Structure 1
């Protein structure tokens, strides 16, 4: 521990500005610490083409447990667009195949990002659809399972097209994964009066999840 304390307190060490990569090299058996130290840069640079892939590719080859920081980075891979999008989805699928994809936590973290930093649900659902086509039906559903409670409108909040899109996609993902289990957030929307696209999608998902 004295050596660790010395490393972390050295102003030229891995915590210094511009040397985030040093965290990964210093802790090859820990994904979560390098992931957490990427986050300050992430929220300034995540929209730069290729940034997410370049940041996450090395971490996907690390060892050690995953936590909220790693889950957030993996979830944000689904926001990439353009020529780097396919590479980002490959990283997510590789993590799923290796058994180190915290899918539900990815969804929770991604749901917060959808609310806070301007990622569109259509972009995310398109990426998840691509992952599902490659066989990750269960992982796609688990991501949506984490995303919905965070992303759906709460009491007094106004619904928008992204919420409808999320429920429509979740209903299809649940069908493919043969998922079961109830969501209070979905049940509350499904119980509303009316026949809007949002309510119809919520009812479809709610009915599927409630099947015996």
Structure 2
């Protein structure tokens, strides 16, 4: 989960002092996005694990939801649609409020990315998938 650590550290301002003195990275969001895109390009991104980690980190207030949303939106725009779809299928399950619980601020922005990713990935239909760890369910393309 080095990509998640880099993503969270970079996007929550952990490198602000260094960033004042160093040139920007190839990707405006920095090494978090670069790492995710590189792993996705080689088919090595553990997207479901990334999604679960993102969900837990946001719930634990280790990273702000709007920052993660921005990164995942950039990764989607860069072409890793299917991986973001897989990741967000896990993250959203952890972030949706229960009955009577107030909705987390900016969750709607994350849900927009969660809807956009499968559309860009070419999904024609979605259906709940078989559960992963802990009995969670994800989304997967429907097969004709």
Answer yes or no: same fold by TM over 0.5: yes
Summarize deviations over 1:45-90 as a string: whole Å, max 9, x none.
xxxxxxxxxxxxxxxxxxxxxxxxx3xx323433323656322211
Partner of 2:53: 109
1:160 matches 2:104: yes
Q: What are structure 2's unaligned runs of at least 5 residues?
A: 20-24, 130-140
- Partner SS, residue 181 of structure 1: strand
For normalisation by structure 1, the TM-score amounts to 0.47
Going by fraction, where is helix more abundant, 1 or 2?
1
Q: Which runs of 4+ in 1 moved over 4 A?
A: none
CA RMSD of aligned residues (A): 2.5
Aligned residues: 115
Structure 1: how far apart are the matches of 2:35 and 2:56?
21
User: Greater strand percent: which structure?
Assistant: 2
Residue 200 of structure 1 corresponds to none
Q: RCO greater where, 1 or 2, for CA within 8 Å and sep 6 or more?
A: 2
What's the TM-score, normalizing by structure 2? 0.67
Deviations 1:158-206 (A, max 9, x none): 11322222222211222212342248xxxxxxxxxxxxxxxxxxxxxxx
**Residue in 2 aligned with 1:125?**
69
Rg larger in 1 or in 2?
Answer: 1
Report the counterpart of residue 140 of structure 1 in structure 2: 84
Aligned equivalents of 1:110 and 1:153: distance in 2? 16
Paired position in structure 1 for 2:6: 77
